Amino acid sequence: MLTENKFNKYLIYAVGEIILVVIGILIALQINNWNEKHKEGSEELKILSEIQSNLKQSFKETKSVLHQNETDLKRYIYLLNHVEQKLPYSVVLDTAFCRITSWASPYLTYTAYESLKSRGSKLLRNDTLRMQIINMFENEMTYLIKDWDKSEWRDSEAIVRPYYAKHFAENLDEVTAKPNNYNALIKDPEFTNLLRLVIVMRKWGNQSCESIIESMGALIESIENELIQRGYYKTNKW
Amino acid making up residue 55:
L
Q: pLDDT (tens digit, 9 = 90+) per residue, 6-60?
A: 555 565 666 666 666 666 565 545 555 544 454 445 789 999 999 999 999 999 9
Q: How far is CA 201 from the centre of its chain?
A: 20
Amino acid making up residue 107:
Y
Q: pLDDT (tens digit, 9 = 90+) per residue, 149-204?
A: 999 999 999 999 999 999 999 887 778 999 999 999 999 999 999 999 999 999 99
φ, ψ of residue 157 to 5 degrees: the values are -70, -35
At residue 178, the 3 state secondary structure works out as: strand
Burial status of residue 99 (CB atoms within 10 A of its CB: 0-12, 13-18, 19 or more): buried
Portion of the chain with pLDDT greater than 90, in percent? 70
- Is the whole model's pTM more than 0.85, yes or no? no
Q: How far is CA 84 from the centre of its chain?
A: 38
| pLDDT for residue 232 | 83
pLDDT band at 231 (very low <50, low <70, confident <90, very high): confident
CA-CA distances (angstroms) from residue 181 to 33, 96, 166, 191? 77, 16, 11, 12
